[in-house]
Chain A
Amino acid sequence: AQTVTQSQPEMSVQEAETVTLSCTYDTSESDYYLFWYKQPPSRQMILVIRQEAYKQQNATENRFSVNFQKAAKSFSLKISDSQLGDAAMYFCALNNAGNMLTFGGGTRLMVKP
């Protein structure tokens, strides 16, 4: 069985500052994919960033980057230059060799002006 844990139910960041959201996971597979999804109040699930486990290089998408530590089974999301529109629930998710995407419990990010 695979599990995904997000230990921070809520985080707060000042506009223009940097924040890091934590995620740890457990899987017995060596080939898997990790994702961060954003869910704003509209409820729509939006992909933020994706990381293949076989790639050593950390994924980056504009202001969003990850710190992927395979040995530690850690997959944190860093948001730089935070904007008011970044306020949302953020979900970490793991897709291993099976067909199931397992989600963490989510972190609510608040951005203060």
Chain B
Amino acid sequence: NAGVTQTPKFRILKIGQSMTLQCAQDMNHNYMYWYRQDPGMGLKLIYYSVGAGITDKGEVPNGYNVSRSTTEDFPLRLELAAPSQTSVYFCASSYNRNNEQFFGPGTRLTVL
């Protein structure tokens, strides 16, 4: 099993550009999550999904969009990138809400 995979590992964007961060898991987990981690801080939940076709906002959803068309994939879309979105983005998955969340390796995004 590859676990949770994320692409790309690094990306530099210009202000106003858009991009999609990809996340995939091969563990047949129902729950998937997107977090951001600012320097020296803990992780904050952006969006989550409890199954294909179902998504909901987390703590810091502004400026982001998600979709979940399959159990395996949970892409995160950034529209009109801003410097405040410079962060490390983690995708995670779990079998249900009470189980351990498995994390991907992260994507370091810089918006200049």
Interface flags, B17-50, vs A, CB<8A=1, else 0 = 0000000000000010100000011111100101
Count of chain B residues with a beta carbon within 8 Å of a chain A beta carbon: 23
Name the residue on A nearest B57 (C-beta).
A100
A residues 43-77 near B (Cβ < 8 Å) are 43-45, 47, 50, 52
Does B11 touch A at the CB level, under 8 Å? Answer: no
Asked whether, in the complex, the Cβ of B100 is within 8 Å of the Cβ of A43, the reply is: no
The contact of B97 among A43, A99, A102, A106, by CB within 8 Å, is A99
List which B43-66 residues lie within 8 A (CB) of chain A: 43-45, 48, 50, 56, 58-59
Structural contact, B31 and A43, CB atoms closer than 8 A: no
Residue in A43, A50, A52, A104 whose CB lies within 8 Å of B42: A104
Q: Given B43, B48, B88, which contacts A91 in the complex, CB threshold below 8 Å?
A: B43
**A103 vs B59: C-alpha distance when bound (angstroms):** 11
Q: Which residues of B contact A33 (CB under 8 A)?
A: 98
Contacts of B40 in A (CB 8 A): 105-106
How many whole Å from B109's CB to the nearest CB in chain A?
A: 13
- Taken residue by residue from 72 to 110, chain A's Cβ proximity to chain B (1 for < 8 Å, 0 otherwise) reads as 000000000000000000010001001111111110000
Q: B residues touching A (Cβ–Cβ < 8 Å)?
A: 31, 33, 40-45, 48, 50, 56, 58-59, 88, 90, 92, 97-98, 100-101, 103, 105-106
